[in-house]
Amino acid sequence: MSQTTDLIKYTLQIADNALVLGHRLSEWCGHGPILEQDIAITNIALDHLGQARSLYQYAAELFNNLPLVEKNDLFASAVLQQKINAEEPLDEDDLAYLRDGWDFRNVQLVEQPNKDWAYTVARSFFYDSFNFHFYTALQNSADKTLAAIAEKSLKEVAYHLRWSSEWVVRLGDGTAESHERMQTAINDYWMYTGELVTMSEADTAALNTGNGVAATALKQKWDEQVNAVLQEATLARPEDGWMQQGGKDGRHTEHLGYILAELQFMQRAYPNMEW
């Protein structure tokens, strides 16, 4: 494995988080609890989607410059293999629409279902609390493109964190019903938070080359952020306990398969066309 393939994997890890979370948030469009928040959550979905696109474009560019042997090793999907063997260059859409679940590197947290406003807020809050500190650190990446994407995205992510934190507080310290719903959501999605700050192979490789961020080092900041907001929200922080792992290495929950079935349907049913 070359340094470039490591960098591709790392870039995809970030991109897949953004795409999958953006996809989940976009499911709310037209179904929000009030028009103003329908619009707000869609803005956030658009931000994630925009970040995913920048990152996929970069990953595709890196990929297209690889020697053929290394290209063949990266993705398992049969359709991608065919493209690669035909020496066709890949683009952002190929990466989003033609990889199968085991080639997706997003954390399991972001693929969890929306369920209700509380679960959606909990998922975003956990992720944004990580993402804000992650992008802050990634601005110092030795890789200029990643650093630039981080800098640009950070403004958006700061707003996401503000939005989700405020909703945690509102629901936690709102009515008895909202308090209970928020606490349940926090408890249920808690086991997916450990993966955010656990190092994957791609994380370690990226850290060693100066391209990446030490995810484990973000744990303290994440804790501080989460504790402060939960406290303000009068919510209890669950015990750290057993954490689910595997998303960053391509092992997902059952939910991702259904997301991909929907997301990729057109490209699968009508392959090799311009849209």
Partner 1 sequence: MTTSNKAEWPLWEVFIRSKAGLDHKHAGSLHAADAEMAIENARDVYTRRMEGVSIWVVESKYIHASDPGESESLYDPANDKVYRHPTFYNLPDELKHM
Partner 2 sequence: MTVHSFEQHFEDKIDNEISIEPRDWMPDDYRKTLIRQISQHAHSEIVGMLPEGNWITRAPSLRRKAVLLAKVQDEGGHGLYLYSAAETLGISRDEMLEQLHSGKAKYSSIFNYPSLTWADMGAIGWLVDGAAIMNQVPLCRTSYGPYARAMVRVCKEESFHQRQGFEIMLTLSKGTEVQKKLAQDALNRWWWPSIMMFGPSDDNSPNTEKSMRWRIKRFTNDELRQKFIDVTVEQTKILGLEVPDKDLKWNEERGHYDFGKINWDEFWNVVKGNGPCNKQRLETRKKAWEDGAWVRDAAMAHAEKRKNKKAAKAA
Binding site for partner 1 (CB under 8 A): 34-37, 39-40, 43, 162-163, 166, 170
What value, to the nearest 5°, has the Cα angle with vertex 223 and ends 166 and 183? 50
Coil, helix or strand for 84?
A: helix
CB of 57 to partner 2, least distance (A): 9
**Binders in 49-68 for partner 2, by CB under 8 A:** 49-50, 52-53, 56
Query: Nearer Cβ to partner 1, position 34 or 69?
Result: 34
Q: Choose which of 177, 201, 224, 240 interacts with partner 2 (CB under 8 A).
A: 177
List the one residue out of 216, 223, 167, 175 whose CA is nearest residue 195. Answer: 216
Helix or strand run (H / E) with residue 214: none
Helix or strand run (H / E) with residue 196: none
CB of 153 to partner 1, least distance (A): 17
Stretch that binds partner 2, among 73-81, 150-158, 176-184, 197-205 (CB under 8 A): 176-184
Q: Choose which of 92, 111, 128, 203 interacts with partner 2 (CB under 8 A).
A: 92
Contact between 98 and partner 2 per CB under 8 A? no
CB of 197 to partner 2, least distance (A): 28
Q: Whole-angstrom Cα distance, residue 130 to residue 224?
A: 11
List the one residue out of 258, 245, 120 whose CA is nearest residue 188. Answer: 120
Query: Nearer Cβ to partner 1, position 46 or 137?
Result: 46
Count of residues making up the chain? 275
Torsion of CA 155, 157, 162, 166, to 10 degrees: 160
CB of 42 to partner 1, least distance (A): 8
Query: Nearer Cβ to partner 1, position 170 or 268?
Result: 170
DSSP at 264: T
Query: Nearer Cβ to partner 2, position 207 or 263?
Result: 263
Contact between 267 and partner 2 per CB under 8 A? yes
Contact between 174 and partner 2 per CB under 8 A? yes
Range 160-164, long-range pairs (CB < 8 A, 24+ positions): 160/44, 160/47, 160/124, 160/128, 160/131, 160/132, 161/125, 161/128, 161/129, 161/131, 161/132, 161/225, 163/40, 163/44, 163/124, 163/128, 164/121, 164/124, 164/125, 164/128
Question: 50 is in the binding site of which of partner 2, partner 1, none (Cβ under 5 to 8 A by kind)?
Answer: partner 2
CB of 214 to partner 2, least distance (A): 30
CB of 262 to partner 2, least distance (A): 5
What value, to the nearest 5°, has the Cα angle with vertex 143 and ends 221 and 212? 35
- Site residues, partner 2 (CB under 8 A): 19, 23, 26-27, 29-39, 42-43, 45-46, 49-50, 52-53, 56, 92-93, 96-97, 116-117, 169-171, 173-175, 177-178, 181, 262-263, 265-267, 270, 273-275
